[in-house]
């Protein structure tokens, strides 16, 4: 029996396994679409290692992570076809995203890297599908609380693995100066893990002000503290800055100035500035290395080279997924840009850059009007959305956020769910003005309702 298992070629049965999993997922989605999406939300961070497992489909090879994105797109498309009468997204959201994705598709005709471009399109579409599905499926505050809790709980296993990597020094690499390694958990690199952790911290920070039970709020606070320390262990300075921006914005929004959140920021800064590892990391960014430049100098040279490339094709760019190839052509440097603003300019030109940030601007406007309303629940979740968007913009300056489909998926999930509650609230207010009725949202969690138990 053991010999039989040893001789079995698992790669030959991977397509069959993938088909059965997809069939089961599709069936589950048909029966319980909301519950199926919760499973997808919880398991997404655990799927990182599947990026190295590919399934051959004729002349093409698709890794299982790519298959995940394709499956999500198919599920979303099928759901929309069956639910054409569902409430539509707020004005401008679908149109602006369609404009951006159309430019991405057009760039397939001239891109320098067709496979990278197709992968990017799948990433963006799968993230947007989560926004659309959450907008359709989250129709009560109870469902919203459950979605947010599942997102936060999804961090338990990744954070635990990160601590294991720290203890065993089995992260990305061992630093000879400090004798430690950068934790990355299930992610390919520490940077996307750090971006994910910042999202989890922001979600926890706002969740403790929502109507969860006291025990659940203690659990959420514990996860937030573990995520803060894990963020430090990633050695990702861009995400440290993003975390600081989130805490500042949180303090600006919160008149009571929750004392423990500024303390979390002070604690993280203390770790960075006053420990041997932290001090090394601060100086490392500016110090010359063996290959002749600091990480900051490398970024500046890379960005300058790519901007020179942008000036050669400023309207439509070099094509989606082309930035690495262009950088290799200009500087013999096979790295990603670590700046999504420049990447968008180079790959999609001024048109694509404008289309993407028009979409971002329209999305942000859907939350601005709700950050001061009387309903405390909606006020907090809309502030959370604006905080997430702000931190995303910070991360875009020094990292490759558009490659990180996990964090994009969670951001779009929260944005879509919040938009739906905003639409329901606005509709209920309009009806209340017309007939003098109750304007509470579905779920009977009007402002001032006592804490409830969330499953």
Domain count for the chain: 2
- Last residue of some domain: 40, 71, 86? 86
User: Which letter does DSSP use for residue 441 in this model?
Assistant: P
140 and 239, same domain (yes or no) = yes
Judge whether 181 lies within some domain. Answer: yes
288 and 259, same domain (yes or no) = yes
Judge whether 451 lies within some domain. Answer: no
100 and 81, same domain (yes or no) = no
pLDDT one digit per residue (tens) for the chain, 455 residues? 444 434 544 455 656 666 777 788 888 888 999 999 999 999 999 988 877 776 666 556 677 777 788 888 988 888 888 887 766 888 899 999 999 999 999 999 999 999 889 989 999 999 999 999 999 999 999 999 999 999 999 999 999 999 999 998 888 775 555 566 789 999 988 999 999 999 999 999 999 999 999 999 999 999 999 999 999 889 888 898 899 889 888 888 876 655 556 666 666 666 666 665 666 666 665 555 544 566 777 788 889 999 999 999 999 999 999 999 998 888 777 778 889 999 999 999 999 999 999 999 999 999 998 998 889 999 999 999 999 999 999 999 989 999 888 999 999 999 999 999 999 999 888 776 666 555 556 554 443 333 334 44
Judge whether 17 lies within some domain. Answer: yes
- Token look-up 């709980």 returns 153
79 and 138, same domain (yes or no) = no
Which structural domain, as residue segments, surrounds residue 61? 1-86
313 and 355, same domain (yes or no) = yes
- Last residue of some domain: 66, 86, 106? 86
52 and 110, same domain (yes or no) = no
Cβ–Cβ under 8 Å, residues 188 and 235: no
Alpha helices in 322-455 (DSSP H): 323-331, 340-368, 376-398, 405-435
Query: 99, exposed or middle or buried, with CB in 10 Å at 0-12, 13-18, 19+?
Result: middle
Distance of CA 156 to the CA centre of its chain: 17
Structure tokens at 338: 């670590």
Query: 44, exposed or middle or buried, with CB in 10 Å at 0-12, 13-18, 19+?
Result: buried
Judge whether 357 lies within some domain. Answer: yes
78 and 100, same domain (yes or no) = no
113 and 32, same domain (yes or no) = no
CA dist 241 → 25, 211, 252 (Å): 38, 30, 17
- Last residue of some domain: 56, 86, 116? 86
């Amino acid at each position: 029996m053991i010999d039989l298992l040893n001789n079995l070629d698992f790669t030959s049965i991977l397509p069959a396994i993938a088909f059965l999993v997809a069939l089961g997922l599709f069936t589950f989605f048909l029966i319980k679409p909301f519950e199926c999406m919760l499973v997808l939300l919880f398991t997404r961070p655990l799927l990182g290692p599947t990026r190295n497992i590919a399934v051959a489909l004729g002349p093409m090879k698709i890794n299982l992570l790519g298959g995940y994105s394709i499956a999500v797109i198919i599920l979303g498309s099928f759901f929309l076809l069956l639910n054409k009468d569902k409430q539509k997204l707020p004005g401008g959201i679908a149109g602006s995203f369609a404009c951006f994705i159309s430019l991405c598709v057009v760039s397939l005709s001239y891109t320098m890297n067709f496979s990278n471009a197709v992968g990017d399109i799948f990433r963006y579409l799968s993230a947007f599908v989560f926004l659309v599905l959450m907008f359709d499926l989250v129709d009560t505050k109870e469902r919203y609380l459950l979605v947010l809790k599942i997102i936060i709980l999804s961090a338990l296993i990744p954070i635990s693995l990160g601590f294991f990597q720290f203890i065993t020094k089995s992260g990305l690499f061992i630093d000879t100066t400090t004798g430690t390694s950068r934790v990355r958990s299930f992610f390919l690199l520490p940077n996307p893990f750090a971006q994910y952790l910042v999202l989890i911290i922001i979600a926890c920070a706002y969740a403790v002000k929502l109507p969860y039970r006291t025990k659940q709020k203690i659990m959420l606070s514990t996860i937030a503290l573990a995520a803060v320390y894990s963020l430090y262990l990633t050695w990702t300075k861009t995400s440290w800055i993003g975390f600081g921006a989130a805490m500042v914005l949180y303090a600006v929004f919160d008149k009571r100035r929750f004392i423990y959140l500024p303390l979390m920021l002070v604690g993280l800064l203390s770790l960075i500035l006053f420990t041997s590892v932290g001090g090394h990391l601060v100086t490392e960014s500016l110090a010359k290395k063996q290959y002749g430049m600091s990480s900051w100098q490398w970024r500046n040279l890379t960005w300058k080279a790519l901007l020179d490339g942008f000036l050669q094709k400023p309207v439509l760019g070099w094509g989606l997924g082309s930035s690495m190839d262009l950088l290799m052509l200009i500087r013999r440097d096979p790295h990603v840009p670590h700046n999504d603003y420049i990447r968008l300019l180079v790959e999609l030109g001024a048109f694509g850059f404008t289309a993407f940030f028009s979409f971002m601007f329209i999305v942000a406007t859907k939350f601005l009007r709700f950050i001061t309303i009387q309903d405390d629940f909606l006020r907090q979740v809309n502030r959370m959305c604006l905080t997430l968007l702000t931190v995303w913009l910070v991360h875009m300056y020094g990292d490759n956020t558009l490659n990180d489909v996990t964090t994009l998926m969670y951001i779009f999930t929260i944005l879509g769910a919040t938009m739906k509650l905003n639409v329901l609230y606005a509709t209920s207010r309009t009806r209340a003005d017309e007939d003098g009725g109750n304007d509470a949202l579905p779920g009977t969690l009007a402002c001032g309702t006592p804490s409830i138990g969330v499953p």
